[in-house]
Amino acid sequence: MIKPLKPTLILFLLIGILIPSASFADDYIVKEPPKSLDKLYPPLSKEPKWINQMHKVSGTFNGVLVNVRENDWENAEKSAGRFVEAYEETSKLVPEWKDYFDNDAVKKFAETVKTRDPGKIWKTVGPVGKTCGKCHKENYVAVWTRYSWPSVHKIKISDPVSEEELKYGKYMWKLAGSFNTLMTDFGDGQYDRSLKAAKNLKSRIQGFKSVCSKCHVDDSVKNFFVGSSVTAALDSIQTELVKSKPNPGVFWKNIGIIGKQSCKRCHLTHRSYAIIQEVWEGHEH
Protein backbone atom coordinates (compact mmCIF):
# COMPACT_ATOMS: atom_id res chain seq x y z
CA MET A 1 0.00 0.00 0.00
CA ILE A 2 1.36 3.43 -0.94
CA LYS A 3 1.56 5.84 1.99
CA PRO A 4 0.18 9.38 1.57
CA LEU A 5 2.78 12.07 0.97
CA LYS A 6 3.83 13.99 4.05
CA PRO A 7 2.32 17.53 4.30
CA THR A 8 5.74 19.17 4.29
CA LEU A 9 6.78 17.26 1.17
CA ILE A 10 3.63 18.27 -0.64
CA LEU A 11 4.24 21.91 0.33
CA PHE A 12 7.84 21.99 -0.87
CA LEU A 13 7.06 20.19 -4.12
CA LEU A 14 4.13 22.48 -4.80
CA ILE A 15 6.26 25.58 -4.17
CA GLY A 16 8.85 24.26 -6.60
CA ILE A 17 6.26 23.71 -9.30
CA LEU A 18 4.19 26.87 -9.02
CA ILE A 19 6.84 29.49 -8.26
CA PRO A 20 9.16 30.31 -11.18
CA SER A 21 12.82 29.57 -10.60
CA ALA A 22 15.09 32.48 -9.71
CA SER A 23 17.88 31.25 -12.00
CA PHE A 24 17.40 30.75 -15.71
CA ALA A 25 19.68 29.14 -18.25
CA ASP A 26 18.84 31.82 -20.82
CA ASP A 27 18.56 35.58 -20.66
CA TYR A 28 15.35 36.63 -18.95
CA ILE A 29 13.21 38.82 -21.20
CA VAL A 30 10.28 40.81 -19.83
CA LYS A 31 7.83 40.98 -22.72
CA GLU A 32 4.93 43.41 -22.74
CA PRO A 33 1.67 41.56 -21.94
CA PRO A 34 -0.84 41.06 -24.77
CA LYS A 35 -3.41 43.82 -25.19
CA SER A 36 -6.26 41.34 -24.77
CA LEU A 37 -5.33 41.17 -21.07
CA ASP A 38 -6.35 44.82 -20.65
CA LYS A 39 -10.03 43.90 -20.62
CA LEU A 40 -9.44 41.77 -17.52
CA TYR A 41 -8.07 44.65 -15.43
CA PRO A 42 -9.32 48.10 -14.43
CA PRO A 43 -10.19 50.50 -15.90
CA LEU A 44 -11.68 48.30 -18.67
CA SER A 45 -12.90 45.86 -16.04
CA LYS A 46 -14.55 46.82 -12.74
CA GLU A 47 -12.42 44.23 -10.99
CA PRO A 48 -9.09 42.48 -11.67
CA LYS A 49 -10.69 39.48 -13.35
CA TRP A 50 -7.40 37.84 -14.29
CA ILE A 51 -6.08 37.93 -10.72
CA ASN A 52 -9.41 36.66 -9.41
CA GLN A 53 -9.28 33.82 -11.90
CA MET A 54 -5.73 32.97 -10.86
CA HIS A 55 -6.89 32.73 -7.25
CA LYS A 56 -9.71 30.48 -8.37
CA VAL A 57 -7.34 28.17 -10.25
CA SER A 58 -4.72 27.98 -7.52
CA GLY A 59 -7.33 27.71 -4.77
CA THR A 60 -9.09 24.72 -6.31
CA PHE A 61 -5.78 23.04 -7.23
CA ASN A 62 -4.44 23.44 -3.71
CA GLY A 63 -7.81 22.30 -2.41
CA VAL A 64 -7.33 18.96 -4.14
CA LEU A 65 -3.87 18.47 -2.65
CA VAL A 66 -4.97 19.45 0.85
CA ASN A 67 -7.90 17.04 0.71
CA VAL A 68 -5.70 14.25 -0.63
CA ARG A 69 -3.29 14.81 2.23
CA GLU A 70 -6.18 14.61 4.68
CA ASN A 71 -7.70 11.55 2.97
CA ASP A 72 -10.89 13.53 2.39
CA TRP A 73 -11.62 11.91 -0.95
CA GLU A 74 -15.15 13.24 -1.37
CA ASN A 75 -13.96 16.84 -1.17
CA ALA A 76 -10.83 16.04 -3.17
CA GLU A 77 -13.01 14.95 -6.09
CA LYS A 78 -15.23 18.02 -5.74
CA SER A 79 -12.17 20.30 -5.72
CA ALA A 80 -10.78 18.49 -8.77
CA GLY A 81 -14.00 19.13 -10.67
CA ARG A 82 -13.95 22.81 -9.76
CA PHE A 83 -10.27 23.00 -10.72
CA VAL A 84 -10.94 21.58 -14.20
CA GLU A 85 -13.74 24.11 -14.68
CA ALA A 86 -11.62 27.05 -13.51
CA TYR A 87 -8.60 25.98 -15.56
CA GLU A 88 -10.62 25.60 -18.77
CA GLU A 89 -12.30 28.97 -18.20
CA THR A 90 -8.89 30.59 -17.76
CA SER A 91 -7.48 28.97 -20.91
CA LYS A 92 -10.05 30.91 -22.99
CA LEU A 93 -9.48 34.37 -21.52
CA VAL A 94 -6.26 35.37 -23.30
CA PRO A 95 -6.05 33.91 -26.84
CA GLU A 96 -2.34 34.74 -27.14
CA TRP A 97 -1.62 32.48 -24.15
CA LYS A 98 -3.61 29.42 -25.18
CA ASP A 99 -0.44 27.36 -25.67
CA TYR A 100 0.45 27.68 -22.00
CA PHE A 101 -2.54 25.53 -21.09
CA ASP A 102 -2.84 21.75 -21.18
CA ASN A 103 -6.48 20.85 -20.63
CA ASP A 104 -5.81 17.16 -21.28
CA ALA A 105 -3.26 17.02 -18.46
CA VAL A 106 -5.73 18.71 -16.13
CA LYS A 107 -8.51 16.26 -17.00
CA LYS A 108 -6.15 13.32 -16.47
CA PHE A 109 -5.22 14.76 -13.08
CA ALA A 110 -8.89 15.05 -12.09
CA GLU A 111 -9.61 11.49 -13.26
CA THR A 112 -6.65 10.17 -11.28
CA VAL A 113 -8.02 11.79 -8.12
CA LYS A 114 -10.94 9.36 -8.39
CA THR A 115 -8.52 6.44 -7.92
CA ARG A 116 -7.83 7.70 -4.39
CA ASP A 117 -4.22 6.63 -4.83
CA PRO A 118 -1.82 9.40 -3.70
CA GLY A 119 1.07 7.89 -5.64
CA LYS A 120 -0.81 7.92 -8.94
CA ILE A 121 -2.24 11.35 -8.23
CA TRP A 122 1.16 12.91 -7.62
CA LYS A 123 2.47 11.64 -10.95
CA THR A 124 -0.20 13.71 -12.70
CA VAL A 125 0.48 16.84 -10.61
CA GLY A 126 3.81 17.55 -12.30
CA PRO A 127 2.51 18.07 -15.88
CA VAL A 128 -0.21 20.38 -14.56
CA GLY A 129 2.18 22.38 -12.42
CA LYS A 130 4.59 22.81 -15.32
CA THR A 131 1.95 24.65 -17.36
CA CYS A 132 1.45 27.10 -14.49
CA GLY A 133 5.18 27.43 -13.86
CA LYS A 134 6.04 28.12 -17.51
CA CYS A 135 3.46 30.89 -17.80
CA HIS A 136 4.52 32.43 -14.49
CA LYS A 137 8.19 32.32 -15.43
CA GLU A 138 7.60 34.11 -18.73
CA ASN A 139 4.78 36.51 -17.81
CA TYR A 140 4.49 37.03 -14.06
CA VAL A 141 6.85 40.01 -13.81
CA ALA A 142 5.41 41.63 -16.94
CA VAL A 143 1.80 41.34 -15.77
CA TRP A 144 2.72 42.61 -12.31
CA THR A 145 4.54 45.56 -13.85
CA ARG A 146 1.72 46.45 -16.23
CA TYR A 147 -1.28 46.16 -13.95
CA SER A 148 -0.07 46.48 -10.36
CA TRP A 149 2.30 49.45 -10.81
CA PRO A 150 0.68 52.49 -12.42
CA SER A 151 2.97 54.19 -14.92
CA VAL A 152 4.83 57.08 -13.32
CA HIS A 153 4.83 58.84 -16.68
CA LYS A 154 1.16 59.67 -16.22
CA ILE A 155 1.89 61.48 -12.96
CA LYS A 156 2.36 65.25 -12.78
CA ILE A 157 3.71 67.06 -9.73
CA SER A 158 3.60 70.67 -8.64
CA ASP A 159 7.19 71.71 -7.92
CA PRO A 160 7.16 73.67 -4.62
CA VAL A 161 10.35 75.51 -5.62
CA SER A 162 9.62 76.68 -9.17
CA GLU A 163 5.81 76.40 -8.80
CA GLU A 164 5.72 74.60 -12.15
CA GLU A 165 3.63 71.53 -12.89
CA LEU A 166 6.17 68.93 -13.94
CA LYS A 167 6.09 65.44 -15.29
CA TYR A 168 7.36 62.79 -12.86
CA GLY A 169 10.72 62.35 -14.59
CA LYS A 170 11.40 66.09 -14.69
CA TYR A 171 10.51 66.43 -11.03
CA MET A 172 12.87 63.60 -10.09
CA TRP A 173 15.60 65.24 -12.13
CA LYS A 174 15.15 68.51 -10.21
CA LEU A 175 15.04 66.69 -6.86
CA ALA A 176 18.28 64.87 -7.68
CA GLY A 177 19.75 68.19 -8.79
CA SER A 178 19.01 69.75 -5.41
CA PHE A 179 20.61 66.81 -3.64
CA ASN A 180 23.73 66.92 -5.80
CA THR A 181 24.02 70.70 -5.45
CA LEU A 182 23.71 70.40 -1.68
CA MET A 183 26.61 67.96 -1.47
CA THR A 184 28.82 69.64 -4.08
CA ASP A 185 28.52 73.11 -2.57
CA PHE A 186 29.19 71.75 0.90
CA GLY A 187 32.28 69.96 -0.34
CA ASP A 188 33.48 73.23 -1.91
CA GLY A 189 32.90 75.16 1.31
CA GLN A 190 30.10 77.21 -0.27
CA TYR A 191 27.79 76.88 2.73
CA ASP A 192 25.37 79.63 1.76
CA ARG A 193 24.69 77.99 -1.60
CA SER A 194 24.53 74.59 0.07
CA LEU A 195 21.92 75.94 2.50
CA LYS A 196 19.76 77.14 -0.38
CA ALA A 197 20.00 73.71 -1.98
CA ALA A 198 19.11 72.08 1.36
CA LYS A 199 15.92 74.15 1.58
CA ASN A 200 15.01 73.24 -2.01
CA LEU A 201 15.71 69.58 -1.34
CA LYS A 202 13.51 69.53 1.76
CA SER A 203 10.66 71.20 -0.11
CA ARG A 204 10.92 68.75 -3.00
CA ILE A 205 11.22 65.66 -0.81
CA GLN A 206 8.27 66.73 1.34
CA GLY A 207 6.33 67.52 -1.83
CA PHE A 208 6.99 63.98 -2.98
CA LYS A 209 4.35 62.76 -0.55
CA SER A 210 1.78 63.99 -3.05
CA VAL A 211 3.16 61.44 -5.52
CA CYS A 212 2.67 58.61 -3.03
CA SER A 213 -0.89 59.84 -2.55
CA LYS A 214 -1.62 59.07 -6.20
CA CYS A 215 -1.72 55.39 -5.23
CA HIS A 216 -1.60 55.19 -1.42
CA VAL A 217 -4.10 56.65 1.04
CA ASP A 218 -2.58 55.12 4.17
CA ASP A 219 -0.38 57.65 6.00
CA SER A 220 2.05 54.96 7.09
CA VAL A 221 2.71 54.15 3.44
CA LYS A 222 3.00 57.77 2.37
CA ASN A 223 5.48 58.41 5.18
CA PHE A 224 7.59 55.34 4.46
CA PHE A 225 10.01 57.20 2.15
CA VAL A 226 9.64 60.58 3.83
CA GLY A 227 9.27 59.66 7.48
CA SER A 228 10.29 61.45 10.64
CA SER A 229 13.92 60.30 10.44
CA VAL A 230 14.31 61.77 6.95
CA THR A 231 12.64 65.02 7.99
CA ALA A 232 14.89 65.23 11.06
CA ALA A 233 17.96 64.67 8.87
CA LEU A 234 16.90 67.48 6.51
CA ASP A 235 16.35 69.83 9.46
CA SER A 236 19.68 68.87 11.02
CA ILE A 237 21.51 69.68 7.78
CA GLN A 238 19.95 73.14 7.65
CA THR A 239 20.79 73.74 11.31
CA GLU A 240 24.41 72.79 10.63
CA LEU A 241 24.71 74.96 7.53
CA VAL A 242 23.82 78.19 9.33
CA LYS A 243 26.78 77.70 11.68
CA SER A 244 30.04 79.50 10.95
CA LYS A 245 31.84 76.13 10.88
CA PRO A 246 29.47 73.30 9.95
CA ASN A 247 30.46 69.89 11.25
CA PRO A 248 31.26 67.60 8.26
CA GLY A 249 30.56 64.49 10.34
CA VAL A 250 27.04 65.63 11.18
CA PHE A 251 26.41 66.77 7.61
CA TRP A 252 27.46 63.53 5.92
CA LYS A 253 25.76 61.36 8.51
CA ASN A 254 22.45 63.03 7.66
CA ILE A 255 23.15 62.83 3.94
CA GLY A 256 23.48 59.07 4.44
CA ILE A 257 20.13 58.89 6.24
CA ILE A 258 18.38 60.68 3.38
CA GLY A 259 20.12 58.59 0.74
CA LYS A 260 19.39 55.25 2.38
CA GLN A 261 16.00 55.81 3.95
CA SER A 262 14.40 57.92 1.24
CA CYS A 263 16.14 57.67 -2.14
CA LYS A 264 17.35 54.07 -1.94
CA ARG A 265 14.16 52.72 -0.39
CA CYS A 266 12.06 54.30 -3.10
CA HIS A 267 14.33 53.13 -5.92
CA LEU A 268 14.50 49.56 -4.59
CA THR A 269 10.70 49.45 -4.42
CA HIS A 270 9.73 51.20 -7.66
CA ARG A 271 12.66 51.76 -10.01
CA SER A 272 12.85 48.35 -11.68
CA TYR A 273 9.19 48.48 -12.65
CA ALA A 274 9.51 52.06 -13.86
CA ILE A 275 12.47 51.14 -16.10
CA ILE A 276 10.49 48.31 -17.70
CA GLN A 277 7.55 50.64 -18.28
CA GLU A 278 9.88 53.26 -19.78
CA VAL A 279 11.09 50.71 -22.33
CA TRP A 280 7.55 49.66 -23.24
CA GLU A 281 6.35 53.24 -23.50
CA GLY A 282 9.40 54.54 -25.36
CA HIS A 283 10.60 56.88 -22.62
CA GLU A 284 14.23 57.51 -21.73
CA HIS A 285 15.35 56.65 -18.23
b/e 138-157 (16+ beta carbons within 10 angstroms → b): bbebbbebbbebebbeebeb
219 has pLDDT over 60: yes
Q: Return mean pLDDT, the chain.
A: 87
* pLDDT, tens digit, 9 for 90 and up, residues 170-200: 999 999 999 999 999 999 999 999 999 999 9
| pLDDT at res. 284 | 54
Residue-level pLDDT at 222: 67
pLDDT-derived band at 283, boundaries 50, 70, 90: low
The answer to whether residue 232 scores a pLDDT higher than 80 is yes
* More confident site: 270 or 124: 124
Q: Is the pLDDT of residue 257 over 50?
A: yes
Q: Could you tell me the pTM of the whole model?
A: 0.71
